[in-house]
Amino acid sequence: MTASTAAAPARTRTGGPREDGPKIFEHVMGWTFVVVLAMLVAQIGLI
């Protein structure tokens, strides 16, 4: 093992967002979450 490989260990995936993937699906699911959350807040009477 050289000094450069010892200083930079292999990166492991931690479950974060991927660089490749269906961006439209993430966008739609995000807005769906926002709408459902707004409906819940309105039903509870917080606004």
- Residues 47 and 41: beta-carbon distance below 8 Å: yes
- pLDDT tens, 2-47? 655 555 567 776 776 666 667 889 899 999 999 999 999 999 988 7
Cα dist from 44 to 3, 34, 35, whole Å: 59, 15, 14
pLDDT at 23: 85
What are the backbone dihedrals phi and psi of residue 11, each rounded to the nearest 5 degrees, phi first?
A: -85, 135
